[in-house]
């Protein structure tokens, strides 16, 4: 073997201390984008929440400082500062500079009975990914402090002054060489802290924004928020259903089991979508886990048993399915256990199998008791589930007709679809366009190899207020489902998706925005997996074409238009609209002869601005160049950062309740830009 190909021990890298975190940050906080940035705050706050769950803390103050840092202060016991017997260093320094060091690894002598766990790495990971961190501990009447730079201790633990308070304050400055953005969002943090206060009764979390320049989305919020909810999970369920028509009052129960504490809140609504969220030791398990599986199995079994016993289900009738039972259900499941096993450091899924049995037993027992003790509410719930079952049977017939239609049409698919020649989903994309005019331009301007065009006629059905059977009777929705190829409902199969880029391309006016919203509602409610996988996009066609002589440019916003005009040497204040400009350029001949030099100068200083009201106004080559060409186009990827907020927005804007929608419009009206009436 040649020497250059040798593979020996000296080529093996050993990363020490916190180096692995800086080398592979995504392994510890999920990503280095805005989600990872906020995850750092959650890690520190979760430590304080653990103190609260252990009964030693009731107030947490989070401050967003003007220098880009964030501090988290609690009134807990304070991280220990005494010397560790083995490491011969202060416990504070070990916790903040060593992976897998902390008081949360179980055992009878551990510092916590239950905790968010953080696998003992949370604080040290944040330290490693911070340009600077400062820790202050208020304990035994003293103030202790220590600073770190990218995870490395800057000086030995110091004592400075006396204090009567107890607790810990951690302030950190995220490292700009690690994170894509350093801008924290008050809106994002508020959602998280509200959750924590609902889940931990008696705790108060305050969020203070001291930044001079605030992001646009935060300007609608006061600079100080304080959360505290004595109603706990029942209040949380009520909050989630604010914009929905509820069935009865929230049902709440909790019980300690040998495997951990189980707490559940639930309430039915008249909507057609379920909204179930789960937590383990106050950590939001976005991908569920065994506790969520136990809840779903138990609620189906319990409601079917009650319906049989009460004669609501006849002897020959089929049982209610899980989908029937969960239609319109809002539920919060919270479990607390001693040694949580999460899948991944970001704790998206709970892996403790014993919690499935624990949750099942508690829900079976407590929900059955509630139904027996509240016959009127029970009858209303069973009626809601039975109606869902009848709608399911009707939807099955409608869905089967869609599948049959798709099979009969074979590879031709819907007649209006101009398909691409490629059969590789990873390189194929479909543009959903508004109307035949825009569809015609898009079909002529596209790259036929990988771009498909599906024109929609008119506005699709608002699926927020319709069940599957009525939805599938809508021809435009039916065509879209067949074109995508993945089916819907029980037979949905993402592996059959024909395009990995689904692009909504509508006009830049009120009707276009409405159609876009209707389509987003469809995808959010029936195809959320496509959003989570990053397959859904919104095209950004230009608003203006600006011409001056041979110089032609496109502007996508009013701000861009002004920049382009200035760059062309034109005063933006002189340019009102294309009609006015054309009239100005056609100056009278008499004037030109008398003041020829002045007229020519005036003409040279003017630009022609064309405002595009619709995609159909654009020539095929213009549409390709500005909106469809992968080399030049701008597209927005649709994401769901906050499922709770997304659910609330769709329920408010697209649901049947008018007052919440009116309130939303009044609140946000002043922030609307480019309103086209």
User: Which tokens go with 24?
Assistant: 């592979």
Rounded to an integer, what distance in angstroms lies between the CA atom of residue 173 and that of residue 29?
A: 16
* Alpha helices by DSSP H, 415-492: 435-445, 468-471, 475-484
Catalytic-residue membership of 46 = no
Catalytic-residue membership of 551 = no
Residue from 351, 514, 328 nearest 434 by CA: 514
Rounded alpha-carbon distances, angstroms, from residue 116 to 122, 263, 341, 528, 530: 10, 16, 10, 28, 30
Q: Is 170 exposed, middle or buried (0-12, 13-18, 19+ CB in 10 A)?
A: buried
Catalytic-residue membership of 210 = no
Selecting among 511, 617, 625, 657, the annotated active-site residue is 511
Selecting among 365, 377, 380, 509, the annotated active-site residue is 509
Selecting among 73, 324, 434, 464, the annotated active-site residue is 434
Residues 6+ apart with CB under 8 A from 81: 90, 91, 92, 137, 139, 144, 157
Residue from 235, 263, 92 nearest 167 by CA: 92
8 Å CB contact between 511 and 437: no
Alpha-carbon torsion (467, 367, 52, 84), positive or negative:
negative
Catalytic-residue membership of 507 = yes
8 Å CB contact between 494 and 529: yes
Residue from 454, 440, 419, 448 nearest 620 by CA: 440
Count the neighbouring beta carbons within 10 Å of the beta carbon of residue 529: 13
Strand ranges inside 210-328, DSSP E = 224-227, 246-257, 260-269, 275-280, 283-284
Residue from 334, 356, 357, 350 nearest 253 by CA: 334
Rounded alpha-carbon distances, angstroms, from residue 43 to 119, 223, 249: 11, 23, 34
Rounded to an integer, what distance in angstroms lies between the CA atom of residue 133 and that of residue 173?
A: 6
Selecting among 263, 507, 644, 647, the annotated active-site residue is 507
Active site residues: 434, 507, 509, 511
């Amino acid at each position: 073997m040649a020497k250059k190909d040798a593979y020996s021990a000296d080529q093996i890298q050993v990363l020490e201390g916190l180096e692995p975190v800086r080398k592979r940050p995504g392994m510890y906080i999920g990503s280095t984008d805005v989600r990872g940035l906020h995850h750092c705050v959650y890690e520190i706050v979760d430590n304080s929440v653990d103190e609260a769950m252990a009964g030693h803390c009731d107030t947490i103050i989070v401050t967003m400082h003007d220098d880009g840092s964030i501090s988290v202060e609690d009134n807990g016991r304070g991280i220990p500062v005494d010397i560790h017997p083995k490491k011969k260093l202060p416990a504070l320094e070990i916790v903040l500079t060593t992976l897998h060091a902390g008081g949360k690894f179980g055992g009878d002598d551990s510092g916590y009975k239950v905790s968010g766990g953080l696998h003992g790495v949370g604080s040290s990971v944040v330290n490693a990914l911070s340009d600077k961190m400062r820790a202050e501990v208020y304990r035994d009447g003293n103030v202790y402090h220590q600073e770190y730079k990218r995870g490395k201790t800057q000086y030995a633990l110091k004592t400075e002054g006396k204090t009567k308070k107890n607790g810990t304050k951690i302030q950190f400055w995220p490292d700009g060489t690690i994170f894509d953005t350093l801008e924290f969002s008050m809106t994002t943090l508020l959602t998280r802290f509200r959750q924590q206060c609902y889940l931990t009764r008696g705790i108060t979390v305050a969020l203070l924004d001291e930044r001079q320049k605030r992001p646009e989305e935060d300007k609608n919020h006061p600079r100080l928020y304080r959360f505290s909810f004595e109603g706990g999970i029942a209040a949380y369920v009520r909050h989630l259903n604010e914009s929905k028509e509820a069935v009865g009052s929230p049902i709440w129960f909790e019980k300690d089991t040998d495997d951990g504490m189980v707490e559940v809140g639930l309430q039915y609504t008249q909507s057609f979508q379920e909204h179930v969220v789960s937590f383990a030791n106050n950590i939001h398990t976005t991908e569920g886990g065994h506790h969520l599986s136990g809840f779903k199995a138990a609620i189906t079994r319990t409601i079917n048993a009650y319906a049989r016993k009460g004669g609501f289900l006849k002897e020959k009738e089929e049982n209610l399915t899980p989908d029937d039972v969960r239609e319109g259900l809002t539920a919060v499941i919270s479990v607390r256990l001693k040694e949580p096993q999460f899948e991944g450091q970001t704790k998206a899924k709970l892996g403790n199998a014993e919690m499935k049995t624990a949750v099942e037993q508690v829900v079976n027992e407590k929900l059955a008791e509630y139904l027996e003790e509240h016959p009127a509410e029970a009858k209303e719930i069973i009626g809601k589930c039975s109606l869902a079952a009848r709608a399911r049977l009707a939807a099955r017939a409608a869905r089967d007709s869609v599948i049959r239609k798709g099979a009969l049409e074979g590879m031709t698919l819907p007649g209006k679809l101009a398909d691409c020649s490629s059969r590789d989903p990873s390189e194929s994309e479909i543009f959903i366009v508004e109307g035949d005019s825009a569809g015609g331009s898009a079909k002529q301007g596209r790259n036929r190899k990988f771009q498909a065009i599906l024109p929609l006629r008119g506005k699709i059905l608002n699926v927020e207020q319709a069940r599957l059977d009525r939805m599938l009777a809508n021809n435009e929705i039916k065509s879209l489902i067949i074109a995508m190829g993945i089916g819907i409902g029980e037979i949905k199969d993402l592996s059959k998706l024909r395009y990995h880029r689904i692009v909504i391309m509508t006009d830049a006016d009120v009707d276009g925005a409405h159609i876009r919203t209707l389509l987003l509602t469809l995808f959010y409610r029936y195809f959320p997996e496509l959003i989570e996988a990053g397959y859904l996009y919104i095209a950004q066609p230009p608003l203006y074409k600006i011409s001056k002589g041979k110089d032609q440019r496109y502007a996508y916003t009013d701000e861009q238009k002004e920049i382009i005009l200035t760059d062309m040497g034109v005063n933006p204040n002189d340019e009102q609209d294309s009609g006015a400009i054309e009239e100005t350029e056609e100056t009278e001949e008499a004037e030109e002869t008398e003041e020829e030099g002045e007229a020519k100068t005036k003409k040279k200083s003017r630009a022609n601005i064309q405002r595009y009201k619709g995609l159909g106004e654009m020539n095929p080559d213009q549409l390709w160049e500005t909106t469809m060409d992968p080399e030049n186009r701008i597209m927005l990827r649709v994401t769901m950062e906050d499922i709770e907020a997304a659910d609330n927005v769709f329920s408010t804007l697209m649901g049947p309740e008018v007052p919440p929608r009116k309130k939303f419009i009044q609140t946000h009206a002043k922030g609307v830009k480019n309103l086209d009436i």
